[in-house]
Structure 1
């Protein structure tokens, strides 16, 4: 049993790094706190200064704190806001998630990428980036890719999501899409919420709310995907995980609360800050778990799968531009 004293140093360092990431976002709005945090964690891991005394607290941050952040993400989702997108857009979103995962896993089999790594890439790229990667890794344990594998896939989310963040607005401009259509495509195709916000800003003010709403509709599908994976794990594991993981139930509870209760704006603002801080703290801890050589050891098949998954999701999300508005 790990004591509070053993957890303290790692949690303190992770929380401090999360605060730095939030401060960076406050100064430069285009910087996503989660992306800044994972970069700080990877940098610390690369320096070789992740002391053994930090590891218990960092481990807790990468699991429990992450789940707090995912649960609170539900308070950003009001169901009327999602329904207002219209059924055509919602069908595209469902296709991005469902077909995105299915086609990515099929491509992984052709490339010979191990199933657990393939599942993390498929879910992370199709749903909501780093949060989905770590959430799926938690549901799938002990067979999942593990901390090193999850951290490597999160790094791929950062790299390929950033490419999509810049490439999709450029392609939308070449195609002559208006801001609403281009925003819908961005929200349906780009990996991280922060990356979607940046892409929307590139496209113009009218694109941002549409892009974020479409992206949050993808985030909402994290809950059923995790539940399905949990059910499959129960069938295969001797020690069965919960049918519906606690943080998934909390996520859904937050969605319902945001939808049906008159929550004061100050409460939502505080919850959003805590949620961003929790995810940033967890992403830093995850970055610290990455072996500096993990990305260098990432083979060509995994890189090809990440590139292919990015292309698959972008193509599946393109119809959102045609039906938006």
Structure 2
């Protein structure tokens, strides 16, 4: 009888109800990984496109709870685990200049995104989302910001548009920006600052840097990780803004979310723990892989939840906004390098 009671425990029963919906994003993640490893291209983009093809699963009552779990809970876990890649010493190595550059470029790009969204007839929330995605860490930042955005009818479609746009632009930048750095005659340090300060996704920053040299790749990665670290204050500030302006957040109707979302607390805690030196590189690598897996599964679930027809209705304006924000970010970093010539 005790065994029967265990199997019918509410927590276990609730977990079992998630599996039909969790299985689909997991399989899509495996398919996206296979395509990325064997044919090249961004894993997150493959996961999103495959997820869109399985939108019909979200209409199934058995699958919906698991899909929602992946799109929300796993998303937050993945963002929190990003902190395992960063230490305080990495930030300190750069000095004040690149750190100030990162703060200026991120703040100005987010403000530009919000202003341009209004000019193009889009929601200000979407402009803030795109500005953060372009200026911090691409799809990961878009997912993190979406986790604290007020819920709206177009919110998830806007998130997916941001992920598609920023991933495509990041892939293009990975090819074009190293050639531009060579044409401008940048040193290893300058090229690293340029690549790490402008390309959206961490993996593509590393790839672009190594196209030039290992020292360039090292500098680019450190600059990029500084931008990733700034994800915490940016998401916290946006959460506070939406909390004050609407009184309604991702926590649900009728109640306010915490001022600092729990997954950001986890992010900061992992940065601090990783900075102590007690965490081995092997553990850091494992946590990084788990983070990446959670984010890919989450974007697969978001793809399943979204109708491709509804995405098409958004038109050309979102992509135009992201292109302008990307060019602005590159212009800010190039201006810094022209003035200070590190």
TM-score (norm 1): 0.90
Deviation at 1:104, TM superposition (A): 2.0
Q: Is the 8 A contact 1:74 1:254 kept in 2?
A: yes
Q: Deviations over 1:173-210 (max 9, x none)?
A: 22122333222211111111122122223333222221
1:267-320 CA distances to partner (integer Å, 9 max, x unpaired)? 222212211111111121122223212442232322211111111111122246
The residue number in structure 2 matching 1:90 is: 99
The reply to whether residue 40 of structure 1 matches residue 50 of structure 2 is yes
**Where in structure 2 are the equivalents of 1:169-184 lying within 5 Å?**
169-184=178-193
- Answer with 89-98 or 285-294: which moved more: 285-294
Structure 1 residues 158-169: aligned runs within 5 Å? 158-169=167-178
Corresponding position of 2:26:
15
Match of 1:309 among 320, 325, 333: 325
Distance 1:266 1:126, change over 3 A: same
TM-superposed CA distance for 1:321, in Å, is: 4.3
In structure 2, how many angstroms separate the alpha carbons of the residues matched to 1:84 and 1:43?
Answer: 45
Q: CA deviation at 1:50?
A: 5.8
Cα deviation for residue 87 of structure 1 reads 1.0
Cα distance change on mapping 1:11 and 1:49 into 2, 3 Å: closer
Residue from 59, 68, 76 that aligns with 2:85: 76
Rounded Cα–Cα distance in structure 2 between residues aligned with 1:185 and 1:173 = 11
SS at match of 1:118: helix
2:273 corresponds to which of 237, 247, 257: 257
8 A Cα contact 1:137 1:145, kept in partner: no
- Displacement of 1:222: 0.8
Aligned to 2:250: none
Superposition map of 1:122-271 within 5 A:
122-143=131-152, 145-235=154-244, 236-237=246-247, 239-271=255-287
The alignment's TM-score, normalised by the length of structure 2, stands at 0.85
**Range moving further from structure 2, 95-104 or 166-175:** 166-175
Higher relative contact order (CA 8 A, sep 6+): 1
CA RMSD of aligned residues (A): 2.4
Does the CA-based 8 Å contact 1:32-1:194 persist in structure 2?
Answer: no
Preserved contact between residue 109 and residue 135 of structure 2 (Cα < 8 Å): yes
- Report the count of equivalent residues: 322
Task: Tell me the secondary structure at the aligned position of residue 330 of structure 2.
Answer: helix
SS of 2:151's partner is coil
Change over 3 Å in CA distance of 1:102–1:76 after alignment to 2: same
In structure 2, relative to structure 1, the CA distance for the partners of 1:113 and 1:269 (3 Å cut) is same
Secondary structure of the 1:140 match is coil
Deviations 1:41-61 (A, max 9, x none): 23444xx56662433212211
CA distance in 1, matches of 2:123, 2:181: 34
Q: Structure 2 vs 1, CA of residues 136 and 320 (structure 1 numbering), >3 Å: closer, same or farther?
A: same
Q: Which stretch has the larger CA shift, 2-11 or 88-97?
A: 2-11
Uncovered stretches (5+) of structure 2, i.e. residues with no partner: 1-9, 248-253
